């Protein structure tokens, strides 16, 4: 019998660390070679790590939410073979899960040029305390890729920021405290979660939810948003929608407002290419698209995803509705492919019946525009000098003011308004 210490393998593509998002084993489990043991999330994807050997799990080196460096101890097994503590084992190839990270979402766009990082130094397995203590001198700064990128964007030197995480890991809260104090403090004090309190529920932000949070912060703080609101009279559009639904074939999907909005956007985008674009702010390059690839923000049990309906400009109303239902359904049930969740050039977000009257939607980086759809409702309005009841829908839009001028953003929304108020134009 001997102890077999399995270390986090090299996942590739310059990844030097990953976050534990799910353990598939626990201490005491009997494991066979190639059994799944843990899911690790990186900035690129989530991978499932298989067991390199058969044996009994005697120790797990980390909890869900912890960041583990490549080469650090991950799992210790008791095996029939000899100990490998002083040996270099061959790591099995991790299995890539077909579920991208928000992507960080989107969730879904080309990833900016990656900065090469030096390979991590070997980490010594400490058998008593199980805590890695930074040594004096040339110590590697512990921080996630998102924290490093944020510090780089803010031109902050991480060596002067003290971390409150395990082994001095620098977290977003430490950067917040450092910036809020004008650079005169070195991090937030550690927070203890060991004491149970009544009527509270502490939930660790890990995995996809953490990626969503990081993406929202990146979008909100790196993009100078401006928002624009408008009311649209969809009375005639509602009549057309009901007529088409009443006469549709059994194999045709039931139409909501979204397919009409998608078709209208595809119709007007050739005249508003600055809004159908991506902005690489590291290289200062704007890429405008002729094709219209619409991201549809979709709430799921696992968080927010943005599946993409591609080439809407080449579809009819039934095709756009069918494809929207397919990719949204795949996102909800967890079967969406990487292709389904990437490549959008413009995003639509809608809360349906809970849509409210207005919002300030956050742009899906690196896109430059987003459109929010709100609940349609009957309202008294003045038309031809008379008060009449009409069906009104509010829309809220946000634009990247570095790329889209206010007049251009307003022009896009006004063109959309004209299409939806006179829906025959969508099909001409």
Annotated catalytic sites, by residue?
401, 405
Q: Given the structure tokens 């989107």, which residue do they identify?
A: 106
Do the beta carbons of residue 16 and residue 68 sit within 8 Å? no
Beta strand spans in 83-181 (E): 95-100
Distance CA 74, CA 31 (A): 15
* Phi, psi angles (nearest 5°) of residue 8: -60, 120
Q: Which residues contact 301 (CB under 8 A, 6 or more apart)?
A: 332
Q: Say if strands 73-79 and 95-100 run parallel, antiparallel, or are unpaired.
A: unpaired
What value does the CA radius of gyration of the chain take, rounded to a whole number of Å?
26
Q: Say if strands 225-233 and 386-400 run parallel, antiparallel, or are unpaired.
A: antiparallel
Q: Given the structure tokens 């991208």, which residue do they identify?
A: 100
Do the beta carbons of residue 394 and residue 366 sit within 8 Å? no
Report CA torsion sign: 118, 124, 125, 126. Answer: negative
Q: Any bridge partners for residue 22, and if so which?
A: 39
Residue 401, SS3 per DSSP:
coil
Do the beta carbons of residue 41 and residue 61 sit within 8 Å? no
Q: Which residues contact 149 (CB under 8 A, 6 or more apart)?
A: none
Q: Is residue 366 reached through a cis peptide bond, with omega within 30 degrees of 0 on the bond before it?
A: yes
Distance CA 324, CA 314 (A): 14
Residue 95, SS3 per DSSP:
strand
**Comparing C-alpha atoms, which of 375, 425, 372, 364 is closest to residue 397?**
372
Q: Is residue 381 within a helix (H) or strand (E), and if so which, with residue range? A: strand 369-383
What are the residue ranges of helices labelled H in 109-234?
145-153, 172-180, 207-222
CA angle 225, 328, 295 (to 5 degrees): 30
């Amino acid at each position: 019998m001997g102890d077999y210490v399995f270390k986090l393998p090299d996942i590739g593509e310059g990844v030097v660390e990953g976050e534990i998002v799910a353990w598939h084993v626990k201490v005491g489990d009997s494991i066979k070679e190639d059994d799944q043991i843990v899911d690790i999330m990186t900035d690129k994807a989530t991978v499932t790590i298989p067991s390199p050997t058969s044996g009994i799990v005697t120790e797990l080196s980390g909890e869900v939410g912890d960041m583990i460096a490549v080469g650090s101890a991950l799992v210790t097994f008791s095996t029939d073979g000899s100990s490998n503590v002083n040996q270099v084992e061959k790591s099995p190839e991790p299995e890539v899960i077909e579920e991208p990270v928000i992507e960080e979402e989107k969730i879904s766009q080309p990833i900016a040029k990656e900065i090469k990082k030096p390979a991590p130094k070997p980490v010594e397995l400490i058998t008593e305390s199980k805590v890695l203590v930074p040594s004096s001198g040339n110590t590697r700064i512990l921080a996630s890729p998102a924290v490093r990128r944020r510090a780089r964007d803010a031109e902050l030197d991480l060596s002067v920021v003290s971390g409150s995480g395990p082994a001095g890991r620098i977290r977003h809260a430490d950067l917040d405290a450092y910036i809020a104090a004008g650079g005169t403090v070195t991090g937030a004090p550690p927070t203890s979660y060991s004491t149970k309190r009544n009527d509270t529920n502490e939930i660790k932000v890990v995995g996809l939810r953490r990626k969503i949070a990081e993406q929202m912060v990146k979008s909100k703080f790196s993009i100078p948003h401006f928002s624009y609101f408008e009311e649209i009279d969809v009375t005639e559009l509602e009549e057309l929608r009901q007529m088409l639904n009443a006469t549709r074939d059994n194999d045709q999907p039931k139409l909501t407002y979204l397919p009409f909005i998608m078709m209208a956007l595809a119709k007007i985008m050739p005249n508003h290419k600055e809004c159908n674009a991506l902005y690489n702010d590291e290289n200062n390059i704007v890429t405008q698209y002729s094709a219209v690839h619409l991201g549809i923000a979709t709430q799921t049990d696992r968080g927010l995803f943005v599946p993409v309906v591609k080439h809407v400009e080449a579809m009819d109303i039934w095709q756009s509705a069918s494809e929207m239902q397919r990719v949204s359904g795949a996102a909800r049930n967890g079967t969406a492919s990487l292709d389904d969740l990437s490549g959008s050039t413009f995003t639509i977000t809608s809360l349906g019946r809970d849509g409210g009257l207005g919002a300030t939607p956050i742009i899906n980086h690196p896109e430059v525009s987003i459109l929010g759809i709100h609940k349609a409702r009957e309202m008294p309005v003045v038309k031809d000098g008379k008060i009449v009841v009409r069906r009104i829908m509010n829309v809220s839009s946000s634009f990247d003011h570095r790329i889209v001028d206010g007049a251009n953003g307003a022009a896009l929304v006004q063109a959309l308004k004209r299409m939806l108020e006179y829906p025959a134009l969508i099909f001409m």
